Amino acid sequence: MPEIIRGGFRLNYQDTGSGAPVVLIMGTGGSGRAWHLHQVPAMVAAGHRVVTFDNRGVSPSDSSPSGFTVDDMAADTAALIEHLGIGPCAVVGTSLGARIGAELALSRPELVNRLVLMAARGRSDAMSAALNRAEREIEELGIELPPSYRAVMQVLQQLSGRSLSDDRLTTDWLEIFEMSTSAEVTARAQRGLYPMPDRLPAYRGIRAPSHVISFADDILAPPSAGREIAAAIPGATFEAIDGCGHIGYLEHPDTVNRALLAALRREHAPGAAVPDRPEMPAPA
């Protein structure tokens, strides 16, 4: 994989397709390769050049010393955009990646001409802060939870009730999360970025045309959090997609891809209200 070096830190990336450039930023503990399962093929087919990368701490990018900040991660993304000479470009982020994308749009507005934030928060609430404290207390006590238990917790937090009602799907996802031990190691390194301070007042300074996508069954970043962000960013539009949990882009990728491509085509005029999408059947 190609790479760039920033401050002695090696950042691996993939550059696919041609056309209008889009940078995709993954969430906590996730590899940029996850975008290649569904989003990259759809975007390349639609005529986009798509850049994905592994955030610091995610193999094969280098591990990073503890104490790094979201500003550091936004600067990583800026360095990649400048290295490839693709700015200004569209930026799409999910979860932590959305937070990084928003900070990039604030700190380096000349690099971002379209911003799409998925499964996003503008601040931590009482429950998300409590979850972060509990996870850090477990780590500080040196307790190593069994992979099977962590898989159960991830499935409960990441998926929609619709998926959980399907035993076959649930079993498949449990197996995937139980094998994803490297993601938990990375998540520990990035856990110091939370709880998240209230960034909603700062988001009023974002000038890139912005669209916020929430997932209706997301308990980590519920639609109410997405609406807060859309209300804060001048002219931002909002939609909620039914039948999806926090990883809706993997759970119902066809529906999410349609929403992403519509946002990148700027179908929604700045300032226009976007209604929640009607419930759609799960893809076969």
Catalytic positions? 95, 218, 246
Angle, vertex CA 15, rays to CA 10 and CA 18, nearest 5: 155
Distance CA 1, CA 11 (A): 10
Phi and psi angles of residue 166, each rounded to the nearest 5 degrees, phi first: -105, 110
Contact 211, 217 (CB under 8 A): no
Q: How many CA atoms lie within 13 A of 85 on its CB side?
A: 0
Q: Which residue has the tokens 């041609």?
A: 18
Cis bond before residue 60 (omega within 30° of 0): yes
Contact 157, 246 (CB under 8 A): yes
Q: Which residues make Cβ contacts (< 8 Å) with residue 271, sequence separation at least 6? A: 235, 237
Distance CA 74, CA 108 (A): 9
Count how many residues are written for the chain.
Answer: 284
Strands laid side by side in the 237-241 sheet:
3-6, 9-16, 48-53, 20-25, 89-94, 112-118, 210-215, 237-241
Q: In this structure, how many other beta carbons lie within 10 angstroms of the beta carbon of residue 83? A: 16
Per DSSP, the three-state class of 160 is coil
Longest dimension (CA), the chain: 51
